[in-house]
Amino acid sequence: MKRIRWTGWLTGGALVCFVGLGAFLGIAHRSGLPAVPLPKADTFPAEMLSHGAALAAIGDCIVCHTADGGVAYAGGRALATPFGTLYSTNITPDPETGIGNWSKEAFKRAMRDGVSRDGRHLYPALPYDHYRQVHDGDIDAIYAFLMTRQAASAPAKTNELIFPLGFRPLLAGWKLLFLHQEVFTPRPDRDAEWNRGAYLAEGLGHCSGCHSPRNIAGAEKTGSDAYSGGVAEGWVAPALNGSSPSTVRWTADNLFTYLRTGVDGHHGAAAGPMGPVVHGLSRAPEADVRAIATYIASLSADRASKAPAAADRAAEASRANPAGATLFAGACAGCHEGGAPMMTEGRPGLSTVTALQLDRPDNAVRAILQGIHAPTGPAGPAMPPFAASLTDKQVADLAAYLRSRFSDRPAWTALETAAATVRKEESQP
Amino acid sequence: MTVTITVNGTDHTLDVDPATPLLYVLRDDLELNGAKYGCGLGQCGACTVHIDGKPAFSCLTPVGAVAGRRIRTVEGLGSTQAPGLLQQAFETEQAAQCGYCIAGMLMRAQALLDRNPDPDEAQIRAHMQTNLCRCGTHMRILRAIRRAVAMRKGIQAAQEARP
């Protein structure tokens, strides 16, 4: 009797699981869309193509969709995530390995719902949660722009994800939980420039993709956590809301300068993944970059009085960290000490550089070891790397000195470990 | 304060401020005048030397930071009488015009060849990107590096062919 009951339970349980799985797969299933011939370039009006080019620059498609030294938009760039490594795919109009046989509708579905033309779910590394907010006409213009790029044959590389995330139907569950964004609607209490900036920053620009923290499932936290700072490729993406750590409050003007040139005299230089963002924005329409600056500056408008005072306590810092002071004098002072040639060119003094005000030392340690590569070309801000000349202990001493001299915030800890971690990633000599 | 540094295999103990750039010590105290002062900002590469086998800007390296580490300068690659393989290749290709950048170019290129004896063109170009030549001899410098790669292969083949 008991045995029969157990068997009954088991059968019932299996049935529930089976039906549940079936229902889930039913929801998860997305059908393929038909392949279409590559549209001819002359089917797109010239204004549509230039509009698409500007939008693609703001969305920075090229950054993720181009491998180091690879063909533009042909994909293959490794994207390290907490869930493993994803490889970006080929979005050139190659019919076999790219999106050459995608219709406008298939492209729109990928941008809005994160579904490939063949019906496979795409990983949210493609920020479709943001692209959902983009207007139809703008998505069409980006489609036109991409379909008129040079086609390149580049098959997708195999992703290396932790089990079971390689099973794409699971992404349908992620989308049920986190993909609810709507097309952007302007706020009537704000002016046209602010709304334009909000549209670009929240949509194609996907600024909060890095500058907001993410939850355990890798979705952006929203509400009061939005823009409270995140992490991108090992770099801290500083908070842009009221908790911004910068010593000088961001204004629309200095944000515009920063986004356009890669450096602002009161905050520092764009480094790490922010470099390519600046590269894109340096050639985007000026009015759009101004609008983004206006919107982003408004996020921290309420913190004017909370900004920490700029510090420079050379004598105390030298007493506390004599080894760091010596390294600074020999390696850094030629550019960063008061009166150095660079300081007469409107470059930021270290007491206003945000990297030295962050809770975590990652950005300072990375800048020291890897240097800063001018995002806008040779005239932009650049710093040489010190990985070959300084040991981890020396980087730690130097970072500790910088923190104590140029910030009032608590000393950083585990600096040597931080340096060793960054150095392990170094592939260049 | 005394600092002991190892340059081209020889130890030198010097009475010097540890914040002094390594370049000054090499040129002024050790009279190794190959490495040059170009910009003093780590932007041109004329001062490049090896620290533990890796190319570094000696103008931005405090001498105190390299105590006990292996430093190699262009003088360590060979001499006028007995030039090293890369130096021979630079000479054959007449890679130098005014010559000011060349010691840095040699050390930068040597670091690549030590790590990868058979680099392709893209690897050579990416590696050499940090070093500038105001005369514009970059194409000759690239040719000299390719020649050095080929020369090494030739020597290796000859050695293997020997009975």
Domain end among A178, A201, A233: A178
Could you tell me if residue A331 is inside a domain?
yes
Domain locations in chain B? Answer: 2-161
From A69, which residue of chain B is nearest by alpha-carbon distance?
Answer: B122
CA-nearest of A340, A346, A361, A343 to A404 is: A361
What would the pLDDT profile of A204-236 be if each residue is shown by its tens digit?
999 999 999 999 999 999 999 999 999 999 999
Question: Do A218 and A147 share a domain, yes or no?
Answer: no
Q: Is A335 a member of any domain?
A: yes
Residue to mutate among B26, B41, B129, with most A CBs inside 10 A, is B41
pTM of the model: 0.91
Q: Which of B64, B66, B126 sits opposite A326 (nearest CB)?
A: B64
Domain-ending residue, one of A133, A150, A178 = A178
Predicted local confidence at residue A429, as pLDDT: 38
Does the pLDDT value for residue A428 go beyond 50? Answer: no
Q: Is there a domain that residue A231 lies in?
A: yes
In this structure, the answer to whether residues A132 and A238 fall within a common structural domain is: no
Q: Is residue A9 part of a domain?
A: no
**A378 domain-assigned:** yes
Are residue A171 and residue A66 in the same domain, yes or no? yes
Token code pair at residue A356: 């030295």
Give tens-digit pLDDT for A52-69.
999 999 999 999 999 988
Residues of B in contact with A368 (CB under 8 A): none
Mean pLDDT on B12-31: 98
| Structure letter (DSSP) for residue A383 | B
- Claim to verify: residue A166 and residue A63 sit in the same structural domain: yes
Query: What pLDDT score does A20 carry?
Result: 75
What is the dihedral sign for C-alpha A319, A321, A323, A329?
negative
Q: Are residues A162 and A211 in the same domain?
A: no
Q: Taking Cα atoms as reference points, which of A375, A387, A69, A423 lies closest to residue B124?
A: A69
Q: Is the pLDDT of residue A2 over 70?
A: no
Give me the percent of chain A exceeding a pLDDT of 70: 94
Of B41, B54, B63, nearest to A388 by CB-CB distance is: B54
Give the pLDDT confidence of B104-142 residue by residue, as tens digits: 999 999 999 999 999 999 999 999 999 999 999 999 999
**ipTM for the complex shown:** 0.94
**Is the separation of the CB atoms in A401 and A328 below 8 Å?**
yes
The answer to whether residues A157 and A281 belong to one domain is no
Average pLDDT, rounded, for chain A: 93
Domain count, chain A: 3
In chain B, the residue whose alpha carbon lies closest to the alpha carbon of A386 is B56
Residue A201 pLDDT greater than 80, yes or no: yes
Nearest to A326 among B19, B42, B60 (CB): B19
CB contact under 8 A, A384 and B57: yes
Confidence category of residue A13, pLDDT binned at 50, 70, 90: low
Q: What's the domain range around A130?
A: 41-178
* B65/A388 Cβ within 8 A: no
Is the minimum CB–CB distance between B71 and chain A shorter than 8 Å? no
CB B145 within 8 A of CB B123: no
Nearest CA in chain A to B114: A429
Residue A196 lies in a domain: yes
Cα angle A395, A397, A402; round to 5: 90
Confidence grade of residue A1 (pLDDT, cut at 50, 70, 90): very low
- Nearest chain A CA: its distance from B57 CA (Å): 8
How close does chain B come to A386, measured CA to CA in Å?
8
User: Is 3.10.20.30 the CATH classification of the domain at B2-161?
Assistant: yes
Query: Do A291 and A342 reside in the same domain of the chain?
Result: no
- A251-303 pLDDT per residue, tens: 999 999 999 999 999 999 999 999 999 999 999 999 999 999 999 999 998 87
Task: Let me know whether A171 and A199 are in one domain.
Answer: no
Mutant choice from B60, B72, B112 vs A, greatest count of A C-beta within 10 A: B60
Higher pLDDT, A6 or A322: A322
- State whether residue A134 is helix, strand or coil: coil
Predicted confidence at residue A19, as pLDDT, reads: 72
